[in-house]
Amino acid sequence: MPESGYLLAAVAVMAIVTFALRAIPFAVLHPLRSSALVGYLGVFMPAGIMSILVVYSLKNVSITVPAHGLPELLAVAATAAVHLWRKNAVLSIVVGTGLYVILMNWVFG
């Protein structure tokens, strides 16, 4: 069994490392808040990420099968319409996903 001093030292080292790992992001982010690059990325990254997600989600859609990609097209259109209408990402994703599930299970299923 390790000695008490060894155990206390190990706990102290773990506490210091844990605190440092939690504090470092805040210390690093403070100077970046006024950066022009971070501002630029904050404006254009969400659209880029959403574009990548749309392409990834639709990459296996086949227009040769009977539904011809119609459920996917309708769900993407509904997601975009709700997002343009309400400007709420969570709501638009939930509506688009729900519509896709309904179309795939009850309309085209």
- Give residue 13's pLDDT: 97
- Give residue 1's pLDDT: 66
pLDDT in tens, 55-77: 998 999 988 888 889 999 999 99
Secondary structure string (H, E, C) spanning the chain: CCCHHHHHHHHHHHHHHHHHHHHHHHHHHHHHCCCHHHHHHHHHHHHHHHHHHHHHHHCCCCCCCCCCCHHHHHHHHHHHHHHHHHCCHHHHHHHHHHHHHHHHHHHCC
Tell me what the pLDDT averaged over the chain comes to: 91
